[in-house]
Structure 1
Amino acid sequence: MQESTITIQTRDGIALQTWRWAPAGAPRAAVQLQHGLGEHAGRYRRFGEALTAAGYVVYAPDGRGSGRSAAGAYGRWGRDGWPGWVDDVWQLNQHIRTEHPALALGLVGHSMGSFATQQFLLDHSDAVQAAVLLGTSEPAGIAAMLSAEGPVDLSSLNQGFEHRTGFEWLSRDAVEVDKYCADPACGFVPEPFQGLQTLAWAADPAELARVRKDLPILLLSGDADPIAGPGGAAVQLVGQRYRDAGVHDVEVVLYSQARHELLNETNRDEVTARLLAFLDRTLRR
């Protein structure tokens, strides 16, 4: 895997430090990867290696307020707040299109990145050839929870799990949980999201009707993920909303006992293989 860094400028002046992971030969397609809240794109290097080994060129930004882009000010979202998160997806999309105008492009979003992806697709579903939502949920409920006054507190998500670190909800793999806890760029308490109420648009049938009908969408979740609802019910609801909107290639896969970070779970090889099979089917046909 060939690793380099590019910089993407946001509309409100933030320099997003973005990993570019490339295969040894000419890429067959491109993947844009959006990480979640309280983490950074460097945690996806192992997944990037799997993607580049399969012939994909990968772009993985440290989002605003995250990783190298935060410059130490973790959880500070900038002037544009949540709408800026969503527009950042578009800015990187356009950069990838400039570098690889002939390649099919898939968008993979995890957790908060999956919510940015859901909102992004309302306006830009024609800008990607496939979308994957990892560790996702029903967006209106998430918008309400994270729009509450005061700092964002996710500690309640660990209820029902063992309390060794407080982050057991992320994965059954204790080694991966410990890596997260030891990483100073993970687990920070962010400032409140400005403009997050716009995420609720992604639950509106009239808005979802604007998503193009031939866009393949894959939703992957653990059925023990606390944001997925009991048994993954909230993920199933998201998938059904896309089907009700007329999108005809929607697949929902729930993994028994798996928690939030599927790419860091004990069955991550199975998850990675399923995701690669979907990308091969939709981007390389």
Structure 2
Amino acid sequence: MSTFTSSDGTVIHVREWLPVDQEPVGIVQIAHGMGEYAARYSHLAERLADAGYAVYAPDHRGHGHSITGTPGDLGENGWNLLVEDLVTLTRLLRVKHTGIPVVLFGHSLGSFAVQQYILEHSGLVDDVVLCGTTAVDQLFAMIAEADGDLLGLFNARFQPTRTTADWLSRDEAQVDAYVAHPWCGFDLDPANMTQLATVAAERLSKPTTVPTDLPVYVMVGDRDPLNDNLRLSDLLIDRYREAGLTDITYRVYPGARHEILNEINRDEVEADLIAWITRVPSP
């Protein structure tokens, strides 16, 4: 694990997985979701390292090893600083590993950060992956209709429920590990949640500054409540296509819930993702 210091003085901890006995062929930078931490992506990261990729995953501010106070508290202007932290890390990795491509992967909240990242900084990355993602403005409109009970709204679709996190996966062992871990299951602080739900969500609804040739891979489960039976992930895809993006891959996993990387078919999901990352792009 390494660290870097953010522009506001917050120390961001970064977990890394490197290929053995070879120089990396590329970089995969992972942005994890809300109320979790980078090491939860070890299974995928180890497979990517075996394929020759250097993998780096920061614990976002307010998460994991980067928690400095209450879990989920990002600090003043924390949402924008979280996105800035991802940009800073990419720049550091570009210096550390010169001349190789960078894949930026974001899951859930991390995918929202990636959506904002590529509005202004897409030139830093070669490929983008949005996992467990959605049209953020419409997600928060749906949450508002449910009186703001975000996690309750998600779990309500899986009655009768066994835990408070059944919406994450059909794999009960993965759900139980999530529920039991002190670094999992919390929301962002109210100020930054509001910032994400309003100003940021509005910006993300108009992806007109994203380069039209940026390759984007969108991967979701069709039972993921964040995309409302694919209605909102379909909308996200439509918005990118309307903005002119021409290299979009949209993969849907039947029966899968929110954390498709922790689902009962995770090996299939990871294999599909790695095949896309390692593909030879069209000339």
Aligned equivalent of 2:42? 45
Q: Give 3-state SS (helix, strand or coil) of 2:257's partner.
A: coil
Q: Deviations over 1:133-173 (max 9, x none)?
A: 0000002124556799x987422210121311110000000
**Are positions 1:7 and 2:9 aligned together?**
no
Q: Deviations over 1:160-212 (max 9, x none)?
A: 213111100000000000010111110124321433222321112xxx22111
CA distance in 1, matches of 2:279, 2:123: 18
CA distance in 2, matches of 1:58, 1:147: 36
Match of 1:77 among 49, 74, 79: 74
Aligned equivalent of 1:266? 264
CA distance in 1, matches of 2:272, 2:248: 14
CA distance in 2, matches of 1:7, 1:224: 36
**Are positions 1:141 and 2:138 aligned together?**
yes
Task: Label 1:227 to 1:153 Cα distance change in 2 as closer, same or farther (>3 A).
Answer: closer
Q: How many residues align?
A: 276
Task: Label 1:193 to 1:134 Cα distance change in 2 as closer, same or farther (>3 A).
Answer: farther
Aligned equivalent of 1:36? 33
**Are positions 1:19 and 2:18 aligned together?**
no
1:114-133 matched pairs, under 5 angstroms: 114-133=111-130
Q: Deviations over 1:104-149 (max 9, x none)?
A: 000000000000000111001111100000000002124556799x
CA distance in 2, matches of 1:190, 1:125: 26
Aligned equivalent of 1:280? 278
CA distance in 2, matches of 1:146, 1:14: 30
Normalising by the residue count of structure 1, what TM-score does the alignment of the two structures yield? 0.91
Identical counterparts, % of pairs: 40
C-alpha contact (below 8 Å) 2:215/2:247 kept by paired residues: yes
CA distance in 2, matches of 1:146, 1:235: 16
Q: Give 3-state SS (helix, strand or coil) of 2:279's partner.
A: helix
Amino acid at match of 2:95: T
* Alignment RMSD: 2.1
Aligned equivalent of 2:104? 107
C-alpha contact (below 8 Å) 1:12/1:78 kept by paired residues: no
Q: Give 3-state SS (helix, strand or coil) of 1:154's partner.
A: helix
1:208-227 matched pairs, under 5 angstroms: 208-227=207-226
**Are positions 1:188 and 2:168 aligned together?**
no
Task: Label 1:280 to 1:14 Cα distance change in 2 as closer, same or farther (>3 A).
Answer: same
1:55-94 matched pairs, under 5 angstroms: 55-71=52-68, 73-94=70-91
CA distance in 1, matches of 2:106, 2:77: 20
C-alpha contact (below 8 Å) 1:129/1:282 kept by paired residues: no
Normalising by the residue count of structure 2, what TM-score does the alignment of the two structures yield? 0.92
Match of 2:202 among 186, 193, 200: 200
Please report how far the alpha carbon of residue 71 of structure 1 lies from its aligned counterpart in structure 2 after TM superposition. Answer: 4.2
Runs of 4 or more, structure 1, over 6 Å off, are 145-148
CA distance in 2, matches of 1:71, 1:46: 27
Aligned equivalent of 1:176? 174
Please report how far the alpha carbon of residue 20 of structure 1 lies from its aligned counterpart in structure 2 after TM superposition. Answer: 1.2
Please report how far the alpha carbon of residue 49 of structure 1 lies from its aligned counterpart in structure 2 after TM superposition. Answer: 0.5
CA distance in 1, matches of 2:181, 2:275: 31
CA distance in 2, matches of 1:256, 1:249: 23
CA distance in 1, matches of 2:281, 2:30: 15
Amino acid at match of 1:90: V
Please report how far the alpha carbon of residue 89 of structure 1 lies from its aligned counterpart in structure 2 after TM superposition. Answer: 1.2
Amino acid at match of 1:266: I
**Are positions 1:250 and 2:245 aligned together?**
no
